[in-house]
Amino acid sequence: MSSLTPLDKHAIEEFIGESSKCFTKLYSAKENGFDAGVFHQKCDNRGPTLTVISDTEGHVYGGYTSVSWQSAFIPQVYDRDAFLFYRDNGSVQNMEKFSVRKCESAIAYDQTSGPIFGSEPDLGVFTGNVTRTHDGTPHAVSLKFKGASYMMPSYPLLDLEVEDIVVYSVTDSRYNLKALPWRNEPSFDNACLRTLFEDVESYWPLKDFGVPKGTVQYVNILFVGPIGAGKSTFINTVDSVFRGYATMIAIAGGKGKCMTHRYRQYHLTSSDNRRYLHFRLCDTRGLEDGFSINKDFDAILEGHVPDKYNFDSLPPAANMTPGYRRDPQLKDKIHCVVYVLDAEKYSPEVGIGFTTDDVHNQIIDLQKKHDQRGIPQLILLNKTDFACPLTKKDTSAVNRSEIIKKHCLHAAERLGLPPLTVLPMKNNFFETTATSDEMAILTLYNVRQMLRAADAYLRVNFLDELRQERYETSV
Ligand SMILES: Nc1nc2c(ncn2[C@@H]2O[C@H](COP(=O)(O)OP(=O)(O)O)[C@@H](O)[C@H]2O)c(=O)[nH]1
Ligand SMILES: [Mg+2]
């Protein structure tokens, strides 16, 4: 920006009332001509804009409007967020804000004029096509600070030597992508997709530590979280990646509707359909105000609870429950707990923090149970497409989106976990055919993180024991 200093930008953000604004130049009178037609061609329908007028003596005048400019003749256009501003050329760069007084006439449309603020107008910049003198200064550019629609003192008509008039589009930089990603993995390319497929498909518990295949048949990943956070949809997305088309093995619901009543252990098959993968994804009923899975949680973690157990049954899972496993083995226990949160349900501005307070307290109670056992926990942050429109369009933006990074940090804080435990996710909730490569990469990457967490748990707790078994049986 030639005429706005970083301090000016900061002041403008404060005037707008939101930080993290991004100013992108749409039009410069000096570069594009003092021409109303060109101004409209470049600035119409571009959303909120900032008009900055600088004179040859270093004064800066301007106006902000949250409404798009248009090529029309409408003398009064409503905008309650508009304001004018002024800064003199002194060394102390204090900018003055003049708030709108008559919102109904905050700006005016006139396709034969440059930007117009106020109906009289308060700030009208130029009309038609202004020619320049031989020394380069434009003729007949006048500023009228009148104070009819804005709260400001009435200045005399100013006939200025205008240096430039620049119009910036003002967007929310929270949605801007960082030039450098905030995390390096996964890289969204073919090599990464192949590696992830290979790692996940060929995984077996403690494979990298010399424990033979089948010693522990599989690890169990347990998904827990509020209703509608996307637990079942994630399981479907993982299955879809191996099948190559969208599947619905876990019944997912609509908004806020509980579709999962039973405990389900999904044992997925490899992409060639020939064998089971060495992990199971365990789906639970969603938490909601007044309903927790607390009564059954110990039994689930210990591996007593059978597949298809109904969470809505009143007595907790116990000896009398059909299929109850009295003496669970290591392969029956839970090896990693994944808390599933919904990025749509997060808004610090209005005080919504992923879950209701009741569900949050339920999660804290559940956490105590597996903390005692040292079972690792991760957070799957679903619906990042809601949090970031750029990620909605392009899954790979997840690693470069500033807003997703913030969501991840807040999710970690909310559940009292390190940021590294948060796995941002965009599920296949709409595509009817195959998932895209990007979605497959993000899905497999998240599954691999879960497998690594489960594997580390086995390693630090059972490796010696399992190796011992192997040595004994192989002697
Ligand atoms: N936009 C979007 N919607 C999702 C995503 N994941 C799940 N959903 C939707 O969220 C709703 C609830 O999902 P569901 O899997 O039933 O949640 P559960 O109660 O945690 O099992 C469904 O309508 C899904 O289509 C996602 O990543 N993005
Ligand atoms: Mg469900």
**Residue 78, CB half-sphere, CA atoms under 13 Å: how many?**
1
Per-residue pLDDT averaged across 163-170, rounded?
91
- Among 474, 473, 463, smallest CA distance to 208 is for 463
Atom of ligand 1 nearest to the CA of 340: 20
Assigned domain for 356 exists: yes
Q: What does the alpha-carbon distance between residue 84 and residue 118 come to, in Å, rounded to a whole number?
A: 10
Q: Do 356 and 216 belong to one domain?
A: yes
Q: What does the alpha-carbon distance between residue 427 and residue 230 come to, in Å, rounded to a whole number?
A: 8
Q: Do 161 and 263 belong to one domain?
A: no
Per-residue pLDDT averaged across 145-166, rounded?
76
User: For the whole model, what pTM was predicted?
Assistant: 0.69
Query: Which pLDDT band, with edges at 50, 70 and 90, does 1 fall under?
Result: very low
Q: Do 117 and 213 belong to one domain?
A: no
Which residue has a Cα nearest atom 26 of ligand 1? 383
Q: Is the CB of 230 under 6 A from ligand 1?
A: yes
Q: Do 83 and 220 belong to one domain?
A: no
**pLDDT above 70: percentage of residues in the chain:** 88
Instruction: Judge whether residue 273 has pLDDT over 90.
Output: yes
Assigned domain for 180 exists: no
Q: What does the alpha-carbon distance between residue 270 and residue 16 come to, in Å, rounded to a whole number?
A: 54
Whether cis (ω within 30° of 0) applies to the bond prior to 389 is no
Q: Residue 474: its pLDDT value, please? A: 47
Instruction: Judge whether residue 228 has pLDDT over 90.
Output: yes
Q: Do 140 and 229 belong to one domain?
A: no
pLDDT in tens, 326-378: 999 999 999 999 999 999 888 776 667 899 999 999 999 999 999 999 999 99
Q: Do 285 and 153 belong to one domain?
A: no
Listed residues 124, 146, 175: the one ending a domain: 175
Q: Residue 154: its pLDDT value, please? A: 67
Task: Calculate how far, in angstroms, residue 370's C-alpha sits from the geometric centre of ligand 2.
Answer: 21
Task: Calculate how far, in angstroms, residue 243's C-alpha sits from the geometric centre of ligand 1.
Answer: 20
Q: What does the alpha-carbon distance between residue 291 and residue 384 come to, in Å, rounded to a whole number?
A: 26
Atom of ligand 1 nearest to the CA of 382: 27
| Packing angle of the helix pair 437-474, 190-201 (nearest 10 deg) | 30
Which residue has a Cα nearest atom 1 of ligand 1? 383
Q: Please calculate the CA angle 186-247-425 and round it to the nearest 5 degrees.
A: 30
Assigned domain for 185 exists: no
Q: Is the CB of 391 under 6 A from ligand 1?
A: no
Q: Do 309 and 436 belong to one domain?
A: yes
Q: Do 377 and 309 belong to one domain?
A: yes
Q: Is the CB of 103 under 6 A from ligand 1?
A: no
Task: Report the number of distinct structural domains present in the chain.
Answer: 2
Atom of ligand 1 nearest to the CA of 259: 16
Q: Is the CB of 224 under 6 A from ligand 1?
A: no
Q: Residue 121: its pLDDT value, please? A: 83
Q: Do 148 and 223 belong to one domain?
A: no
Q: What does the alpha-carbon distance between residue 172 and residue 406 come to, in Å, rounded to a whole number?
A: 14
Q: Do 156 and 222 belong to one domain?
A: no
CATH code for position 457: 3.40.50.300
- Among 150, 99, 103, smallest CA distance to 123 is for 150
Q: How far is CA 281 from CA 120, 237, 267, 454, in A?
A: 67, 12, 7, 12
Q: Do 139 and 206 belong to one domain?
A: no
Q: How far is CA 98 from CA 26, 122, 123, 142, 368, in A?
A: 24, 11, 12, 19, 55
Assigned domain for 1 exists: no
Assigned domain for 183 exists: no
Burial 417-455 (b: 16+ CB within 10 A, else e): beeebbbbbbbbeeeeeebebbbbbbbbbbbbbbbbbbb
Q: How far is CA 444 from CA 251, 388, 448, 451, in A?
A: 21, 21, 6, 10
Atom of ligand 1 nearest to the CA of 286: 19
Task: Calculate how far, in angstroms, residue 383's C-alpha sits from the geometric centre of ligand 2.
Answer: 14
Q: Is the CB of 285 under 6 A from ligand 1?
A: no
Q: Is the CB of 343 under 6 A from ligand 1?
A: no
Instruction: Judge whether residue 472 has pLDDT over 60.
Output: no
Listed residues 175, 201, 216: the one ending a domain: 175
Q: Do 195 and 85 belong to one domain?
A: no
Q: Residue 475: its pLDDT value, please? A: 43
Question: What residues make up the domain containing 19?
Answer: 6-175
Which of 266, 285, 429 has most ligand 1 atoms within 8 Å of its beta carbon, as the pocket-test mutant?
429
Fill in the amino acid letter for 268: L
Q: Is the CB of 344 under 6 A from ligand 1?
A: no
Q: What does the alpha-carbon distance between residue 288 and residue 356 come to, in Å, rounded to a whole number?
A: 8
The H or E element spanning position 329 is: none
Listed residues 126, 148, 175: the one ending a domain: 175
Which residue has a Cα nearest atom 14 of ligand 1? 230
Mean pLDDT, rounded, of the chain: 88
Q: What does the alpha-carbon distance between residue 41 and residue 25 come to, in Å, rounded to a whole number?
A: 14
Which ligand neighbours the alpha carbon of 427 most closely?
1
Residues with CB under 5 A from ligand 2 (ion): 231-232, 260
Q: Residue 147: its pLDDT value, please? A: 72
Instruction: Determine the length of the chain.
Output: 475
Instruction: Judge whether residue 171 has pLDDT over 90.
Output: no
Assigned domain for 136 exists: yes
Q: How far is CA 132 from CA 6, 30, 32, 254, 314, in A?
A: 30, 10, 13, 62, 85
Q: Residue 57: its pLDDT value, please? A: 82
Query: Which pLDDT band, with edges at 50, 70 and 90, does 461 fall under?
Result: very high
Say which residue, 219 or 254, is predicted with more confidence. 219
pLDDT in tens, 99-149: 999 999 999 999 999 999 998 888 887 877 777 666 666 554 556 666 789
Which of 222, 233, 235, 340 has most ligand 1 atoms within 8 Å of its beta carbon, as the pocket-test mutant?
233
Which ligand neighbours the alpha carbon of 233 most closely?
1
Q: Residue 61: its pLDDT value, please? A: 86
Q: Residue 321: its pLDDT value, please? A: 84
Assigned domain for 220 exists: yes
Q: Is the CB of 90 under 6 A from ligand 1?
A: no
Q: What does the alpha-carbon distance between residue 20 and residue 139 come to, in Å, rounded to a whole number?
A: 37
Task: Calculate how far, in angstroms, residue 366's C-alpha sits from the geometric centre of ligand 2.
Answer: 18
Q: Residue 434: its pLDDT value, please? A: 59
Task: Calculate how far, in angstroms, residue 361's C-alpha sits from the geometric centre of ligand 1.
Answer: 22
Query: Which pLDDT band, with edges at 50, 70 and 90, does 152 fall under?
Result: confident
Q: Please calculate the CA angle 345-347-352 and round it to the nearest 5 degrees.
A: 65
Q: Is the CB of 427 under 6 A from ligand 1?
A: yes
Instruction: Judge whether residue 469 has pLDDT over 60.
Output: no
Q: Residue 429: its pLDDT value, please? A: 76
Q: Residue 467: its pLDDT value, please? A: 80
pLDDT in tens, 48-96: 999 998 888 888 889 999 999 999 899 999 999 999 998 887 655 678 8
Which ligand neighbours the alpha carbon of 235 most closely?
1
Whether cis (ω within 30° of 0) applies to the bond prior to 226 is no
Burial of residue 147, with CB atoms counted within 10 A of its CB: 0-12 exposed, 13-18 middle, 19 or more buried: middle
Assigned domain for 182 exists: no
Q: Residue 256: its pLDDT value, please? A: 61
Asked whether 223 and 377 are in contact (CB, 8 A), the reply is no
